[in-house]
Amino acid sequence: MSLNNTHEIDIVKTSSSKINSVDFETLSFGSTFTDHMLVCDFREGKWGKPVIKPYEPFLLDPSAKVFHYGQAIFEGMKAYKDDNDEVWLFRPDQNLDRFNKSAVRMAMPEVDDWIFLEGLKQLVDIERDWVKKGLGNTLYIRPFMIAIGSGVIAAPSTQYRFMIIMSPAKSYYSGEVKVIIAEHFSRAANGGIGAAKAAGNYSAQFYPTKLANEKGFQQIIWTDDATHTKLEEAGTMNVFFRINDTLFTAPVSERILDGVTRKSLIALAQHEGIKVEERSVYVDEIINAAKDGSLKEIFGAGTAAVVNPIVGFSYQDTYYELPKLENSIALQLKDKLTKVQYNMAEDSFGWTVKV
Ligand code: COI
């Protein structure tokens, strides 16, 4: 796929890059940002001209609706560098599509395709030195939109800001990941905003996740709000369960995010002849499979987390340890996926886009 450069973006470059002050070996996820950002405002019913400018704070009215009603959405994407110094994006069209679906659900304007895709491409191009070579080195990209219109009346804003910021990153989780299966808290409910990448979906998880962290667990696997019997999604990722040699993952729904990594893994697994079932996965069946030894793996899948094996889980205060496998499907799929992303293997699905 190639992106057309038919629209204009203003570019104001910084005179002093901070890249030389960054230690790329000891990055903590999402805490260092590149020199530039993209900004584009929506006013009087239309998007203005995007500008790429030095990364800096900006002022907002204290009554801006993003502060009061959380009218905010975001995406997570990455850029990768291959051995020939070429920089690649992975399925940016999918992020654009989901971003605009999130916008509709949050009563925000859809962003023009070219602003998102061309803006992304030009911003990454300007920051290509921030994308380091080698598996595991990435540039994490965070497009987002906030309601900047002022006034605390509880109604959608008429003014919005679309931005892209970028952060060099290694892995999201630094150690082993153990999870708690939720018995009381939920991530989302039917009719709610679970399928949107809305900021509030993530902050709502902070408190239950903090409780899990205090017990020594890194994440929660959410169960459905109505019955708490179906396993849905983890805090920062979709979840896969391997029983014997079949993978199971919950179908996308009003409650579950349509993950780009999730759908890419399903396609790669099926291409490899691995059976994948998208269907409700029940707590009971996972507990029984853990007890009889047929539960081989659980892993999370997300842009930030990539493919993250889960070493064990707790349910009703009983801890179930997962076996350590020689033939992990999670690691096999991670290898396939990352080799496509870093242009180290044939991209038979046409997913990668050169910057
Ligand atoms: C991502 O994986 O990119 C996400 O958006 C999850 C985020 C909470 C880190």
Rounded distance from Cα 151 to ligand 1 centre (Å)? 30
Distance 303 CA to ligand 1 centre (A): 6
Q: What pairs with residue 246 in β-bridges?
A: 243, 275
Q: Does ligand 1 come within 6 angstroms of the Cβ of 144?
A: no
**In contact, 325 and 70? CB cutoff 8 Å:** no
Question: Ligand 1, closest atom to CA 78?
Answer: 3
Q: Which residue has the tokens 């900004």?
A: 39
DSSP 8-class letter at 133: B
73, 145 Cβ separation under 8 angstroms: yes
Task: Tell me if 304 CB under 6 Å of ligand 1.
Answer: yes
Collapsing DSSP to helix, strand or coil, 303 comes out as coil
The predicted pLDDT at position 88 comes to 98
207-252 pLDDT, tens digit each: 999 999 999 999 999 999 999 999 999 988 999 999 999 999 999 9
Which atom number of ligand 1 is nearest to the Cα of residue 302? 2
User: Tokens in use for 338?
Assistant: 């990352």
**102, 218, 303: which to mutate for ligand 1, most atoms within 8 A of CB?**
303
Q: Identify the bridge partners of residue 247 per DSSP, sorted by sequence position.
A: 242, 276
Per-residue pLDDT of 164-200, as tens digits, reads: 999 999 878 778 899 999 999 999 999 999 999 999 9
pLDDT at 1: 43
* Pocket of ligand 1 contains residue 236 by CB under 6 Å: yes
Q: Over range 288-316, report the average pLDDT.
A: 95
**CA 41 to centroid of ligand 1, rounded, Å:** 24
The Cα–Cα gap between 287 and 301 comes to 21
Ligand 1 atom index nearest CA of 172:
9
For residue 2, is pLDDT > 70?
A: no
The residue that leads in pLDDT, 172 or 274, is 274
Architecture of domain 178-340 in this structure: Alpha-Beta Barrel (3.20)
Helices (H), the chain: 65-69, 92-105, 113-126, 199-203, 206-214, 260-271, 283-292, 329-341
Q: How far apart are the first and last CA of the chain?
A: 11
Q: Nearest residue CA, atom 7 of ligand 1?
A: 236
**The pLDDT value given to residue 236:** 86
Using a 6 Å cutoff on CB, does residue 259 contact ligand 1? Answer: no
Q: Does ligand 1 have an atom closer than 6 angstroms to the CB of 300?
A: no
Q: Do domains 10-170 and 178-340 have the same CATH topology?
A: no
- Residue-by-residue DSSP string for 195-229: TS-BHHHHHTTHHHHHHHHHTT-SEEEEE-TTTS-
- Percent share of the chain, pLDDT over 70: 98
Q: Is 102 in the pocket of ligand 1 (CB under 6 A)?
A: no
Instruction: Count other C-beta atoms under 10 Å from residue 288's C-beta.
Output: 13
Ligand 1 centroid distance, CA of 153 (Å): 30
Cross-strand bridge partners of residue 142:
165
Residue 142 C-alpha to ligand 1 middle, in angstroms? 9
pLDDT greater than 90 at residue 7:
no
Q: What percent of the chain has pLDDT over 90?
A: 94
Residue from 28, 73, 187, 236 whose mutation best tests the ligand 1 pocket (most atoms within 8 A of CB): 236
Fold type of domain 10-170? D-amino Acid Aminotransferase; Chain A, domain 1 (3.30.470)
How many other C-beta atoms can be found within 10 angstroms of the C-beta atom of residue 345? 13
Distance 44 CA to ligand 1 centre (A): 31
Q: Model ipTM?
A: 0.96
Q: Mean pLDDT of all residues in the chain?
A: 95
Q: Is 303 in the pocket of ligand 1 (CB under 6 A)?
A: yes
How far does the centroid of ligand 1 lie from the alpha carbon of residue 311, in Å? 20
Report how far residue 316's alpha carbon sits from residue 62's, in angstroms, rounded to the nearest whole number: 43
Domain boundaries, the chain: 10-170, 178-340
Q: What is the pTM of this model?
A: 0.94
